[in-house]
Structure 1
Amino acid sequence: MTTVFRLLAVLPLWLLHVMGVALGWVALLASPTYRRRFVANAAQAGYTLRQVGGAVGAAGQLIAEVPRLWFGRPPPVQWSGEHLIDEALARGRGIVFLTPHLGCFEATAQGYAARYGRITVLYRPARKAWLRPLVDQARRRPNLETAPTTLAGVKQMLKALQAGQAVGLLPDQVPPQGLGVWAPFFGKPAYTMTLSARLARQTGAAVLLAWGERLRWGRGYRIHLRPWPGAVPEAPDAAAVGVNAQMEALVRECPAQYLWGYARYKAPRGAA
């Protein structure tokens, strides 16, 4: 598998994206379950399939671009709102980046690591044993550290923030049972992690909202940054509501690049 990924990594980004669009539509047409979830999630946010049809291909592009991002030369990256990072780093308290399943979230972490320095990203280890060595090896980029969704991973992220470094999370990812609360996401209860707000409160780190726009014709990515409005609520329930509201706002900036097929509303094992 590593050999296949390395071969695909030499292809131009525009070609990988073209292949990804085809892959996205094949997946939608071939899987009734995926198609129903895609349509239902988009409808929950007020969109029809026609309105977010671009997201079908974008989901395939998310997969097709992985070999380039993991094994190829870094793609071009543009920035929008980078002064927010400069201001946060000047405070020396670290940065918590919150990024939804929007655009290319791999590019946001890699772009930060290449320009600013070390960042630790929370990730869920691959469930398939044969995939774990590939994923672990591929994500070892300069200045890019990964932390598993375990207690050890949380401690690793706290340590990074205390050193004035940055961490990144996907707060619209369903956390394990006991690590989240139920909060509305586009008006429907979704099990939402409380870790991001807890990290910010415990360390005094700045909270920035970020997403990586996938530019057309393989021109790379544009990282958009937004400030967190006001203070992060102390109560876990209120913080989760705030996080979901901010993720909704980012998604509405470009719904054609959101991963509508993600099982956002599933309940973790053991959750009521």
Structure 2
Amino acid sequence: MPTVFRFFSILPLALLHGLGALLGWVVFLASPTYRRRFLAHAAQAGYGFVQVHAAVAHAGRMVAEAPRLWLQPQPPRCQVLGADSVDQAYAGGRGVVFLTPHIGSFELSVQQVAQQWAPAHGPITILYRPARQAWLARLMQTVRNRPGIVAVPTTLQGVRQMIKALRRGEAVGLLPDQVPPEGQGLWAPFFGRPAYTMTLAARLVQQTGAAVVLVRCERLAWGRGYRLHMQALELPLPESLELAVAQINAAMERLIRSSPQQYLWGYARYKQPRGQVSPAAEGGA
């Protein structure tokens, strides 16, 4: 499998995205479970299939471009919009928390931040969950720890490393729409439905006073590269953890609505961790 990864890593981006689009549609048509979840999540946000059908191909493109992003030393061409908001965030001296949902090329967003700001402000620290396959775990550990990026495991020690990084004035990156393990989240609205939501992003900001920058990495057509959109969080997070988590969810919703054709609607966002009962389920009991 690593040989296959290396082969795909040298293919032109346009070809990878073409193959990925085909892969996305094959999976969508072949998997009733995935298809139902995709359509249900899009409908929950108020979108019909016609409005978001392009997201089927983009999900495949995300998979196909991974070898290129992981194994090539330099990231592909990426235009950065809103860099001044990042400069202002670093100028505060309390670190920066970059937040992005599962949209576009979120993998590239980390690499671009590292390339542009790590030389002056130190690396960006990200969490990763080790893969079950030994070869993939070794590969991910190697490729995630690129110059300017420090990947730490999803453990208490990893969280402590993120806090230390912020207190040094460095940055961390998170996907706050990722479903956390049992006991590490709260139920909060996401497109009008309760979703078990991580508290880590809000806790990091509340404990360190770090600035928050919202990120969306747009995938351009025909392999022409990417466009990274960056903006500061409009309002400071409140002291209440519940309200802070809800505010982050609302910010993720706005990012997704800015480009719903590139969101991973098939992601199991409303998954119910073992031992956790959603408020909706309790109300219907």
Normalising by the smaller structure, the TM-score range is: over 0.9
**Whole-angstrom distance in 2 between the partners of 1:75 and 1:29:** 30
Letter matched to residue 203 of structure 2: R
> Once the two structures are superposed, what CA deviation does each residue of 1:61-114 show, in whole Å capped at 9, x if it has no partner?
000000000002420111111101111111211100110001000111000101
- Say whether 1:202 aligns with 2:207: yes
**Whole-angstrom distance in 2 between the partners of 1:139 and 1:103:** 18
After superposition, residues 209-224 of structure 1 pair within 5 angstroms as 209-224=214-229
Correspondence for 2:83: 82
Correspondence for 1:64: 64
Correspondence for 2:97: 96
In the superposition, the TM-score normalised over structure 1's length comes to: 0.98
CA shift for structure 1 position 268: 1.3
> Once the two structures are superposed, what CA deviation does each residue of 1:19-39 show, in whole Å capped at 9, x if it has no partner?
000000000000000000000
CA shift for structure 1 position 140: 2.2
In the TM superposition, structure 1's runs of 4+ consecutive aligned residues that sit over 2 Å from their partners are 127-131
Letter matched to residue 224 of structure 2: R
Correspondence for 1:188: 193
Letter matched to residue 6 of structure 1: R
> Once the two structures are superposed, what CA deviation does each residue of 1:36-71 show, in whole Å capped at 9, x if it has no partner?
000000000001111101000000000000000000
**Whole-angstrom distance in 2 between the partners of 1:33 and 1:250:** 26
Letter matched to residue 31 of structure 2: S
Letter matched to residue 77 of structure 2: P
CA shift for structure 1 position 216: 1.1
Letter matched to residue 63 of structure 2: I
After superposition, residues 110-149 of structure 1 pair within 5 angstroms as 110-117=111-118, 118-149=123-154
Letter matched to residue 255 of structure 2: L
Correspondence for 1:11: 11
The answer on whether the counterparts of 1:181 and 1:236 sit within 8 Å (CA) in structure 2 is no
Secondary structure, aligned partner of 1:167 = strand
Correspondence for 1:228: 233
> Once the two structures are superposed, what CA deviation does each residue of 1:175-196 show, in whole Å capped at 9, x if it has no partner?
0111100001000000001110
The answer on whether the counterparts of 2:86 and 2:231 sit within 8 Å (CA) in structure 1 is no
CA shift for structure 1 position 267: 1.0
CA shift for structure 1 position 131: 2.2
Q: Name stretches of at least 5 consecutive residues in structure 1 with no aligned partner.
A: none
> Once the two structures are superposed, what CA deviation does each residue of 1:210-256 show, in whole Å capped at 9, x if it has no partner?
01000111121111012112211221211111111000000000000
Higher helix share: 2
Correspondence for 1:24: 24
- Say whether 1:242 aligns with 2:243: no
Correspondence for 2:266: 261
**Whole-angstrom distance in 2 between the partners of 1:237 and 1:201:** 12
Q: Name stretches of at least 5 consecutive residues in structure 2 with no aligned partner.
A: 278-285
Correspondence for 1:41: 41
Secondary structure, aligned partner of 1:50 = helix
Secondary structure, aligned partner of 1:174 = coil
Residue identity (%):
60
**Whole-angstrom distance in 2 between the partners of 1:268 and 1:128:** 23
